[in-house]
Amino acid sequence: QNSDYHLATKKLKQVTDFYPFFFSGNIQEADSYLKESTLFILGEKHLQSGDYENAMKVYDTYSALYPESMKIQEVDTLKLKVIRDWASELINKGMRDQALNLYFSALEENSEISTKKMIQDEIVNIYEEIAESYRQEGDRETAISYYELILDVSGGASLATNKIEEILAELAEDDL
C-alpha cells in the first residue's frame, strides 16, 4: 500500500524463494506481486538515470500487464513525470520540436481529462516561450504565428488572443 517497492520486493522474494514448501497457496500471489514490484523498481532506475525511453517502456509494460492493479494510478503519474522530465531535458538542449512531439504523442495516448489538461498546459507553455523569444527579438509576425498555434490547444485561447492583441497594438504603434 505505501509504495515501498524495494522493501516489498525483498519480502516477496523471501516468500517465493523460501516459503513455497510451507505456504504453497500464497506463492502465486506473492510471485505476481514480486513481478509487479520489480517493474516499479526497474522503471524508477531508468527514470533516475535519465533513460526516459526505457522508463516509459517499463511503465507501459506495467500498464499492459496489470491494468486492474491498485497501483495503476501511480503508474500513470510516473508516466507523466517521465514525459515532463524528458521534455524538459529536450527543451534545455534546444530541442523544443522534439519536446512538443513527445507531448503531442502523450496527448493522443491519454484519455483522462486531468492528464490531457496537464499536457495541453505544457504545450501552451512551450509555444508561449517560443513566441516570446521571437517577440523579444523583434520578430512579431513569427511570435503571432506561435500564439496562433496556441489557439488550437485547449486552454490557451484567452492567453493567445490577449498576446496577439498586444503584439498587433505594438505593430500599430510602430507604424505611427
The amino acid sitting at 146 is: Y
| CB 160, CB 123: distance < 8 Å | no
Instruction: Please tell me the predicted confidence (pLDDT) of residue 32.
Output: 74
C-alpha grid cell, residue 173: 504603434
Which pLDDT score is estimated for 2?
47
Q: What is the pLDDT of residue 26?
A: 65
* pLDDT score at 145: 93
The pLDDT tens digits for 46-94 are 999 999 999 999 998 988 888 888 888 888 888 889 999 999 999 999 9
Q: How far is CA 78 from the centre of its chain?
A: 8
| Cell digits of residue 19 | 516459503
The burial class, CB within 10 Å (0-12 / 13-18 / 19+), for 59 is buried
Cβ neighbours for 21, distance < 8 A, ≥ 6 positions apart: none
**Residue 138 pLDDT:** 92
Position 115 scores a pLDDT of 80
Residues of the chain short of pLDDT 50, as ranges, are: 1-2, 21-22
pLDDT the model gives residue 173: 87
Rounded CA-CA distance 146/151 in Å is 9
The reported pLDDT for the residue numbered 104 is 92
The DSSP output letter for 83 is H
pLDDT of the residue at 15: 53
- Rounded to an integer, what distance in angstroms lies between the CA atom of residue 42 and that of residue 59? 9
- And the C-alpha cell for 126? 512551450
| Res 21: pLDDT | 45
